[in-house]
Each structure stands twice: as C-alpha cells, then as structure tokens.
Structure 1
Amino acid sequence: MFFRRFENNKANKSQQDEKQSALLSSNLNQNLQILRSLYEDCSDVVFRPFVIGGQVRAELIYMEGLSNVQEIDASVLIPLMKETQGDRRRFEEWLEETLPVSRVKGLRTFTDCIDHISIGNPVLLLEQESRGIALGLAQWEKRSVEEPTSESVVRGSREGFTESLGVNIALLRRRIRSPKLKTKSMKIGRYTQTEVMITYMEGIVDKTLVEEVMNRIQQIDIDGILDSAYIEEMIKDNPFSPFPQIMSTERPDTSVAGLLEGRVAILVDGSPFVLIAPVTLYSLLQASEDYYQHFILGSAIRWLRYLFVVLSLLLPSIYVAILSYHQEMVPTKLLISMAASRENVPFPALVEALIMEITFEALREAGVRLPKQVGAAVSIVGALVIGQAAIQAGLVSAPMVMVVALTGIASFTIPRYNFGASIRLLRFPMILFAGMLGLLGVMLGLLAIITHLCTLRSFGVPYLAPLAPMKGRDMKDVLVRAPWWMLNTRPHLTGEYNKYRQSPHQQPDPKHGGETE
C-alpha cells in the first residue's frame, strides 16, 4: 500500500512537472485550462478575462495580496480595453507601445508564468499568442528599515536589513555606487523557490571563491528555504563544528566592509540576516563600532573583548578546578572565606557550578522568549531573586554566584551572538573536565579546542588566520585596530586579490599639509 501510494505521488508530481515545463501555446483556452489546473483550490489567484479593443481576447492572472490592484486597473486594464488599433501589430511593438508599465518581460513556458505570478507580477495572456507578458506590478507588505536590535552601536549607522531582498540590495547599492558591485541570483527550494542573491566586488574578490560559493548553493536540494540559516548550515566546511564558519549580520555597513575586503555576501529573500564568507575567528570578535571611534580606544576595547572571551570560556572551570584539587593556589584568608561560604552547601563544586550555569542559561532563554515589556525585568529580577534565595537556602555559595554572574557578563561582550552561543556551549564540557581532572583537565580541553580551531576552514581560509599561519601584514587589524592611514592593504583571504585599498602616505601632517610654494 505504501509503495503504491509513493508511486502514485511520484507519477502525479512528474505529470505536474511536465505541465509546468511545457511551452505556452497560441490557444488561450488551452493555456488557461493548464494554469487553472495548476492553481486548483487556490482562491487567492485571480483570473481576469477582458477584451483588448473589442477584438482580442485576453486574460490577466495575478495573486491577490501580492499585486498592486490599483496599478493593474490604471496601467493595464483601462489602457488595453480602450485600445482602438484595428490591425494586428507585431508582438514586440505592441508590448512596447501599448502598456504604460516600466518593467515587462516576455514569457515562453508555464514555469515562467508561475514564477512571476508567485512573486506578485501579473501575467497577461493573449489569444493567438504563444507568449505571455509579465508585468512588474508586484506590491506586498514589508517592514521598514529599522535599527538592528542584535548589533546596536553607539556611533555608526542605524540602518538594518529587512526581509525584502530588493530593499537589502538597495541598501548595499547606496553605499557602493560602483558598477563593480556584482549580483548573481538563483532560486533554491522546490516549493518556496526562494531567491538567493550572491554579491561581490569585481576586481577585489577572488573569482574561485565566487565559483565555490555558487557551486555549494546550487547543490542544495530541499523543499524550502525559510531563512539564511538554512543555507549557512548546508554550505559550511565543517558541519559538526560548534564554531560559526560564516558570519551573519543585520548591518549593511558590516556587509559593505566585508565586500571591500574581498569577501562574498549572500542575501536571502525573506531573511534580514546576510551571510558573509569567508570569515576568521578574529573577524567574529570585531564589532563595526571598532572602526568608528579613535583607534586607541578601539584597540583597548578589542583587548578587553579578548580578555572577556577567555573568561567566558574558562572562569567557571578554573574556579571548579582550584576549589576541588588545587586549594593551595588560593591565599589563606580567601580560602577561609570561601570555605565558610560553602560550609552549608551539600554539593561539590562541580555540581554547584552546573546547577548555576544551567539556571543562568534558562533565565537568559526565558528573557529572550518573553515579550519585550517583561523579558528584561523577568531575567534580571529572576537572577537576583533566585541567586539570593539559593544562597540563603544553602544550595550554592556566594562566590559561585559571583563567578557565574561575571561569566554571563563576559559572554555579553561578544559581538556575534552565534559565536557567543558556541562559547557558552563549550563552557559545560570544560567544567566537567575541571571537575574530573582539575587544571590538567582544563588544559586538555583548551588544547582540544585550539587543535580543532587550527584544523577549521571557512571556504578554504584558515580559521586562525592571520595568526596561524602568520601573516605580519594582516596583523594590523587583529590584535590592535591600527589607524586608517596605516591600513593600506586588504586581508589576504584566498588566491589572487587586489592588495591595496588606499594610497600610501595618508597620515595627517598639519605642519606640511597646508604649505604652498
């Protein structure tokens, strides 16, 4: 029974695919019969019959809610129904001279018709014409350009990507006003037919990188793409690594900065998150605001960020290791104070740390899922109340609460949420290693993470570049943020690249800059 049903479904699917791939005929009734069968039980698809100039039968097919009905009436139906030309002119001339629509396209197959109807472009079919006309009159509700909530800055652009692919491309075009910005479009998803746009800077990007990105995306065969995360998970080099190998951002300025460095940006219709590849570990730890303030302040904040990333990963495990196996490393007075606070705690340090970390992660997740009006209040008040109640009940000690709170604050300094989530995930095995082997377990876990990072690649680029392998020229934007007049060269990612991004000798010199002969 199952195999018979499978074969019937397969046969029905093949018949429907044959219908869609067939060419339009000159018989209008036959074309309409096929389209009506394809859109059976689709009450939002409108078939509007009318007559052009009282002579030629025509049919307009559009999707209600996705097409601009007012423009259809004003620019299509009224002009064509008032057409008084008696003789039959050539198709191209009629198309150009009659329709007051800026974007029109001829269609040959039913697949072309379905593609345009699905995105809101009305399709016009005529009697005795084996071609249709797609009219660029799509209009659907979309979110306005707003400040991205996940990447807020004190100084910098307040614009963020939206779910509209056209708006996102326009945000990039407004910042890069050069025809060197190239875009390549493809559709992924058997049913969703989601449009995916690959953008890059010609003359800066390595062509093999663009080809590799396109090949990986074209190999995706899935029912639907609902967000750019689907593509990110299917094209990464190491799918089992917890570390992100592709950067996702809501900021157009971050995307433009990546394009000008020779990277590729992947835009997905319906998703406000743009993918940037390739990336390195250090690019995930850089915030766009680092480049909008003084380079000394930017470098100091970057070093502070590196420090807190290490604390976010290692602080709970080091605390558990020292308290369980290496008490001699703690000063005597501090050890006595910690022992007094742990006097009534029934659990060992390992269990205590796991309880607090899991509770903190649960509070964080609850704050994210709750409505904005109560989410922040619940997470903060919950942490205070639960932490204080746990100390008074003797379930955890006050130093452990401080360690977990400091660790949580340290994780908030990571600019990329997915990278911060990876650090939070690795914190738990590090705590287990510390509870079983002490500082030796911490070192073994750290060595395993570093070894994994050394083997990781992002579209062929070493994850720890330019530190491993060492590239001295690119170090000016890793450990410190060098001033802009020193950042003469782009990072060397893959293969051939456009080396220089600006002219040399850009350092300000007020003493000689204003002299004239």
Structure 2
Amino acid sequence: MKGDISPHIEENEAYIRKRLENCDDFIIRPMLLGEEKKIRCLVVYIEVAVSNMVLEDSVIGKLVNHMWEMPAEEILEFVRDNGMGISDVQPMDSMNQAFASMLAGNALFFLDGYARAIKVSSKGYPNLSVSEATREKVLRGSKEGFTDAVKTNSALVRKRIRDTRLKVKQKTLGNRSQTLVQLLYMEDLVRPELLEDLENRLDSFVIDGVLDSGVVEQLTESNWLSPFPQFQTTERPDKCAAEILNGRILLLCDHSPMGILLPAVFNDFLQVSEDSYNRFEIVSLQRIIRYCAVLITLLFSGTYLAVTNFHTQVLPTNLILSFSEARQGVPFPGILEILFMEIAFETIREAGIRMPGPLGGTIGIVGGLIVGQAAVEANLVSPIVVVVVAVTALCSLAIPSESFSAPFRLLKFGFILLGGTLGVFGILLGLYLTASHLAGLKSFGIPYLSPFAAKTHAGYCGERDSIIRIPFRFLTRRPIYARENQKVKLRTKESQKKKQKGGSL
C-alpha cells in the first residue's frame, strides 16, 4: 500500500499493524457491526488520548452504537450520506493524513467497503487546565494564563476578541514532532509584509522536533547574535489580545504555555497589561521606576568600581572615609569583591528557580542573607559591596520581563570589567557600544528603540505611550505596528458619525 486507503479492511489492518509494530500505547480494535454482525470495522487510537469508545456521551461511541443494530446494507449508505453529520467527524483520503490526525489525539474508524478513514475527535492528550498566570502577576486585570494546549490558548484570545477579522492560521513544524503552531492577527490591522516575512521564516527551516516556542523564536530571529530578545513572550491572554488590536502578531506553539508577540521593541518589555487599566499618574511613576531599574541593573556595580578606584574626587569626604573604613581588612581588590558577590547572588537566584515549590523563595532570601553576612564577617568583602550587589539584584527583579532582564544581567559583568579597569571612560565606552547595538537592532523591520527612534514614520504618535503615559482618553492612535490607514483606535461617537463607513476602527 502506497499510503492510499483500501476498501478492503484486511489490507488496511495489515498496513496499520505493520506501521504500529512495537507501539503498545496504540489500541487496534476490530469489531463486527450490523444486525447480523457481518460488517467488519476497525477502530485505532492512542489509549490515553481517546475517550472510552463505548461511552454513550463520546462521539465515537455514538457512531458505533448507532450502527450496532442497523441492517448491513444500510451501514455503508449511512456512512457515505449521513455519518459525516455527526459532530467532530471528518473523512480522510490517505493513510498519511489519517495517521497525522490520530497522532494528534483523535481516533480512526475504518469500515469494510469504504475506501476512506473517518477521523473522530476526542478528548486528546492530557493537558493542564486553565490556571492563574504565575510569572506575570498583576493587581488588576484577568488572572487567566495560557495552558500547554495551543487550541485552548487561541480560544482564550478569541474569547476576548469576538470578531471574525481575528484570523487564526495554522502550521505544522517538525518532521517528527508534528507540532501545531498558530498565528493570530487582525486581518485589517496587521501589515501584510510583516505576516509574509514571518511565514517565510517559519518555512525556511526543517527540523526534527519543535517542543517549545523558544525553539521557534531562536530559529526565526534575524539578529541571533544579539542578547536582546526580538520577540516578546507572555503567558497572559489579555495582554496578547490587547497587542493583537495594536496590529501585532501572536504566535502560539503547542505544548508551550507562552505566547510570542512580534514585532517587539525596547519599550514593549517595560510595559505590563495592567498599565491600560490604571490611572496615568500611577502608571507613569511605575514606568519611570522600571526604566531606572534597567539603568541601575546595568551600571550600578560598574560605576561603583569606577568611582572608588579612579574618581574618588567626585565623592564627599565623609563618604570616602566611610568606604575606606569599611574596606579595612579586606584582602581582595574591589573588582574581585564585586565579581564574587555578583556570581554568588546569580547562583542563589538560579538555585531558587530550580528548587521545588516554596523552598525556592526560602533559598533565595535566606541564602542571600547568609552568604552576604558570612562574607562580611569573614572580611572577604566589604559591607558596601553587599549593598551595591543587593540593590542591583533587586532592580533586576523589577524589570517585568525575565527574557529582557537577562541580557542586562549579562552585560552587567562587562560593565564591571570596564569600570574596574578603565574607570568612567570604560563605563562611557560600554554605554556607547550598547546604545549603538540597540540603535542598529530591528525586529521585523521596526527599529528596536521605537518609539524614541521612529519619529520619521508618518503619522506615528507612539511616543505618548512610552516612559510617560498620557491619559487614556488621549491615546487615540495605534502604535507603529498597525497599517498606516488603521491608526485611529479611539474616537468619540460624534466624530464617528462624521466618518464614512469603513473607517479606522
């Protein structure tokens, strides 16, 4: 058999048993149907993924039970004419297509004399149910988070955008894993060139398996040497829905509870979903704190070394004397102190993440206190170094996105080396190199420093929603991601009446 389905069930059964040899998790169940039990049929499914077929409330149970007492001559006619009317039942023309459906968690039904396989949808593979988002905590807004099932995740977004212009395009990646990937976007808002570019990137590689969205992210990003993420990951359906309405694309990958938003620029990583739900004064203050946290994470440790080693004249005399007294008895130079404590805190952070359950938080807090206190008492480091490293670690936790704080924690060590060897000139050199890299970085053609570096785009007013957020009633335009003719997202009803049909909303 070359992949086509035979009308003779013996041939189909032989092919199936040969292909599923040593696959003990598959169930191959032959049966006899009809009043005289003369019509042979075959049900094939994965044991855990498919509901018990004899249950009255299962789709396959209803199909089998309906044909159990039918006359033999009517069974084929029923399948050809009416069988497909049962919910979640679909005919398959080839064995490859049928096996792909079965491996996705469905059941296959073969009938003697019928040269097609019938796919019967069932409960599918075990998955986590919808639960609270754990990584992106908010005080106001939805508490729902994505699950491991891609279709459940797209349904959570569809629940929030009840518009047929929200399109869901499916692709299958991985020759062996056959992982389902979905692209969600608003048909009238997304830029066509952006969607085409993303699809071309997804089609440009061939891989055995895609087990998480992180694999797709690494294979499709253009500037793969950059430590800065060009995709924004989130586990919140409400955030994804809001960004889709701004013209962005959401990529969902089966088996992954994280959605990928693109394009993604610097400013996006420092915003959270509840920024749209709170008053502009509070949101503006919180965003200023986040931007300051980025700078402190990157510069504080290196600047401390630069000032204390090379430029003590910029410090008050009392502060210099305090630093000198605190360092008495410490045998190591300042740069080794900082590196030792930074590595120790990063190790404690990693241990806190890997430890199970509540032990993780305990390890992080207690471990940091014990290591810091013990290092000071043993004269390995000075107390001021513990303060500097603790402030740096605290500020890194204030950055909303873990994937965005990671590159700053990495570059922090570069600034420590530059500040400890070249002083303030080293810090300025590091800032120049970092800013130059960010200025040249793009995410699907959008400058990474948008909205600060994209003011040449016609009609772009995204700078109103950057570090400072203006009142919500004045945020009338979409960001740079949306089409030029779909910039307006908020207007009064009076102005709406003056517009012709088919406007920007």
- Give the alignment's TM-score, normalised by structure 1: 0.91
1:168 to 153, 157, 161: 153
After superposition, the C-alpha distances for 1:261-319 in whole angstroms (9 at most, x for unaligned) are: 00000011110000000011001111112221111110111111111110110000000
Q: Shift of the alpha carbon at 1:339?
A: 0.4
Q: Shift of the alpha carbon at 1:81?
A: 2.1
Which residue of 1 is the match for residue 294 of structure 2?
Answer: 309
1:101–1:136 contact (8 Å) kept in structure 2: no
Alignment of 1:422-437 (within 5 A): 422-437=407-422
Gaps of 5+ in 2: 496-505
**Residues in 1 aligned to 2:48 and 2:72: alpha-carbon distance in whole angstroms:** 33
SS in 1 for 2:90: strand
Alignment of 1:468-507 (within 5 A): 468-470=453-455, 473-493=461-481, 496-504=484-492
1:77 to 42, 57, 64: 64
**Residues in 2 aligned to 1:376 and 1:147: alpha-carbon distance in whole angstroms:** 19
SS in 2 for 1:175: coil
* Alignment: residue pair count: 486
**Residues in 1 aligned to 2:355 and 2:492: alpha-carbon distance in whole angstroms:** 52
Which residue of 1 is the match for residue 342 of structure 2?
Answer: 357
SS in 2 for 1:86: helix
Distance 1:336 1:122, change over 3 A: same
After superposition, the C-alpha distances for 1:218-246 in whole angstroms (9 at most, x for unaligned) are: 22311111110000111112011000100
**Residues in 2 aligned to 1:22 and 1:243: alpha-carbon distance in whole angstroms:** 46
Q: Sequence identity of aligned pairs in percent? A: 36
Which residue of 2 is the match for residue 67 of structure 1?
Answer: 50
The 10-residue stretch of structure 1 (442-451 or 128-137) with the greater mean CA deviation from structure 2: 128-137
1:247 to 220, 228, 232: 232
SS in 2 for 1:185: strand
Q: Which letter does structure 1 place at the counterpart of 2:472? A: W
Which residue of 2 is the match for residue 256 of structure 1?
Answer: 241
After superposition, the C-alpha distances for 1:145-168 in whole angstroms (9 at most, x for unaligned) are: 111111001111100000011211
**Residues in 1 aligned to 2:466 and 2:406: alpha-carbon distance in whole angstroms:** 22
After superposition, the C-alpha distances for 1:306-363 in whole angstroms (9 at most, x for unaligned) are: 1111011000000011111111111111000100111111111111110010000001
Q: Which letter does structure 1 place at the counterpart of 2:6? A: S
**Residues in 2 aligned to 1:437 and 1:506: alpha-carbon distance in whole angstroms:** 62
After superposition, the C-alpha distances for 1:400-451 in whole angstroms (9 at most, x for unaligned) are: 1000001111111100000011110110011111111111001101110000
Q: Shift of the alpha carbon at 1:465?
A: 1.3
2:354–2:360 contact (8 Å) kept in structure 1: yes
- In the alignment, structure 1 residue 28 sits paired with structure 2 residue 15: no
The runs of at least 4 consecutive aligned structure 1 residues that moved more than 4 Å come to: 87-90, 494-497, 504-507
The 10-residue stretch of structure 1 (269-278 or 42-51) with the greater mean CA deviation from structure 2: 42-51
Which residue of 2 is the match for residue 514 of structure 1?
Answer: none
After superposition, the C-alpha distances for 1:127-186 in whole angstroms (9 at most, x for unaligned) are: 222211101123332212111111001111100000011211111111001101101101
**Residues in 2 aligned to 1:402 and 1:272: alpha-carbon distance in whole angstroms:** 36
- In the alignment, structure 1 residue 418 sits paired with structure 2 residue 399: no
Q: Which letter does structure 2 place at the counterpart of 1:415? A: P
1:198–1:265 contact (8 Å) kept in structure 2: yes
1:76–1:99 contact (8 Å) kept in structure 2: no
Which residue of 1 is the match for residue 39 of structure 2?
Answer: 56
Q: Shift of the alpha carbon at 1:373?
A: 2.0
SS in 1 for 2:461: helix
**Residues in 1 aligned to 2:60 and 2:275: alpha-carbon distance in whole angstroms:** 52
**Residues in 2 aligned to 1:109 and 1:335: alpha-carbon distance in whole angstroms:** 80
The 10-residue stretch of structure 1 (492-501 or 325-334) with the greater mean CA deviation from structure 2: 492-501
- In the alignment, structure 1 residue 277 sits paired with structure 2 residue 279: no
Q: Shift of the alpha carbon at 1:74?
A: 3.0
**Residues in 2 aligned to 1:501 and 1:119: alpha-carbon distance in whole angstroms:** 39
After superposition, the C-alpha distances for 1:8-45 in whole angstroms (9 at most, x for unaligned) are: xxxxxxxxxxx7x7221222222222221111100111
Which residue of 2 is the match for residue 380 of structure 1?
Answer: 365
Q: Which letter does structure 2 place at the counterpart of 1:74? A: G
**Residues in 2 aligned to 1:98 and 1:263: alpha-carbon distance in whole angstroms:** 41
Which residue of 2 is the match for residue 103 of structure 1?
Answer: 88
**Residues in 2 aligned to 1:398 and 1:84: alpha-carbon distance in whole angstroms:** 89
The 10-residue stretch of structure 1 (488-497 or 109-118) with the greater mean CA deviation from structure 2: 488-497
**Residues in 2 aligned to 1:236 and 1:348: alpha-carbon distance in whole angstroms:** 41
**Residues in 1 aligned to 2:134 and 2:63: alpha-carbon distance in whole angstroms:** 42
Which residue of 2 is the match for residue 389 of structure 1?
Answer: 374
2:172–2:181 contact (8 Å) kept in structure 1: yes
Distance 1:267 1:73, change over 3 A: closer
Distance 1:453 1:73, change over 3 A: closer
**Residues in 1 aligned to 2:74 and 2:380: alpha-carbon distance in whole angstroms:** 92
Q: Which letter does structure 2 place at the counterpart of 1:499? A: K
After superposition, the C-alpha distances for 1:30-63 in whole angstroms (9 at most, x for unaligned) are: 2222221111100111111112312322111111
1:485–1:505 contact (8 Å) kept in structure 2: no
2:248–2:482 contact (8 Å) kept in structure 1: no
The 10-residue stretch of structure 1 (218-227 or 496-505) with the greater mean CA deviation from structure 2: 496-505
The 10-residue stretch of structure 1 (28-37 or 333-342) with the greater mean CA deviation from structure 2: 28-37
**Residues in 1 aligned to 2:126 and 2:85: alpha-carbon distance in whole angstroms:** 24
After superposition, the C-alpha distances for 1:348-388 in whole angstroms (9 at most, x for unaligned) are: 11111100100000010111111122111121111111111
SS in 2 for 1:42: coil
**Residues in 1 aligned to 2:363 and 2:216: alpha-carbon distance in whole angstroms:** 34
Distance 1:399 1:228, change over 3 A: same
Alignment of 1:53-452 (within 5 A): 53=34, 54-69=37-52, 70=55, 71=58, 74-84=61-71, 86-87=73-74, 90=77, 94-95=79-80, 97-98=82-83, 101-452=86-437
**Residues in 2 aligned to 1:48 and 1:427: alpha-carbon distance in whole angstroms:** 61
SS in 2 for 1:425: helix
2:348–2:367 contact (8 Å) kept in structure 1: yes
